Amino acid sequence: MDHRRSIFAGTAVLALLLGGCKSPAQVGSWAVGECALVDDRGTASVGCSEPHTHRVIAIVKDAEQCPRDTDMYSGPADPSDSGATVCFQSDTTRQ
């Protein structure tokens, strides 16, 4: 149950941060293995050697296809768009 709450909370935060800031094309430009920093300014792609909060673990068609260890995900703002869903896993390891 806590896993589902974490996914819901992460999704809600990410949706609020991305809403109006990035187009679906920008959201879909993530690559598996890429690192992201999620903070009060939004979500930004960063080098994995820099401080980061999440790592992209999969890019799938629908959120239901994200791996079990997904902490949050993002998809197109408009569900009728055929864009991809990006699955993120928490990754606070500093290198």
The DSSP secondary-structure symbol of 9 reads H
d(CA 83, CA 63): 11
Q: Which residues contact 82 (CB under 8 A, 6 or more apart)?
A: 76
Which of 67, 56, 68, 49 minimizes the C-alpha distance to 14? Answer: 56
Query: For position 7, what pLDDT does the model report?
Result: 54
pTM of the predicted model over 0.75: no
Provide DSSP, 70-93: --EEE--SSTTS---EEEEEE---
Q: What is the mean pLDDT of residues 2-6?
A: 56
For residue 31, give Cα distances in angstroms to 22, 84, 91: 16, 11, 15
| Percent of residues, the chain, with pLDDT higher than 70 | 61
Residue 58, strand partner residues: 87
pLDDT single digits (tens) 20-58: 444 333 444 799 999 999 899 988 899 999 999 999 999
